[in-house]
Structure 1
């Protein structure tokens, strides 16, 4: 089982690298497998298809974002501090050298979701999971009025803040100057509503 997990990780890393270099349409299974030091049979054995490998790459990207923001679970952080850590982490991720091609890849895969119900379902599950994890980090914290954020409000805040930050991430990726303080001010304004 250890070997399969290691091969899965190697294939995900190779796929991510090839997608960044070539785009997902140019990411042939042979090139990905070769980069990972494996065969295309390993891709089919582990993922089942190229589509499932590509979706797994998106899942891995989202998993990494959440892992990078593990400090959100620190109970000592205030609601506003959690929002600040989230905003800073997401905007920092937008500055990474591979951020633009990976966002383009995710956007293209979202386009494919319009005609492929499997892709649509899996991408929706990834998004819902990410929102839920962020919402969990907001739940139970007190806002500036001293009110405890319940699950319902946390869900709304997570969705709204993520959408706001995603819009500014895209602007940053296009080379626009997007001050982190401005994005944080807007996110905190949402919290105070």
Structure 2
């Protein structure tokens, strides 16, 4: 029996990290493992529960075939550890925090993956990005435009999950979606 890969994507500020943290126990109770990404950023950086490494360490892991998937975005390198293949083979569902730009390659590697796009209304997303204070207004506007273009380009193979309301509501919708998808696929 093989598990399924759940590929969560969404723009910065959509709440992916908050969703993963809030849903962690409920997902584990359903036999779903969350893969911890490897990222080339400071160990002190706020945000996701990632394994921070240097560019040199990342390159060595990549060279040693330590990643099932890896990509570059926004000046950083991201990797999903190879252990996910073992988990999938053991029948576990595995949720990864993926990249929208890497979706095509991820689907090539894992044709049966369930793509989830975490969305949030543009006004709420703009507000969250402004509150973070990491980018200029022009950079935020460019992010919002890229996000809208990506959503328009979807072919129906990706499920939208709105995170504009409370986090508890989004967790509930995620769990319902995964339970429903399991029933449909099974």
Q: Considering the TM-score relative to the shorter chain, is it more than 0.5?
A: no
Pick the structure with more helix per residue: 1
Q: Name the structure where strand makes up a greater proportion of residues.
A: 2
Instruction: Flag the structure with larger Rg.
Output: 1
Q: Which has the higher contact order (CA 8 A, sep 6+)?
A: 2
- Report the TM-score when normalising by structure 1: 0.26
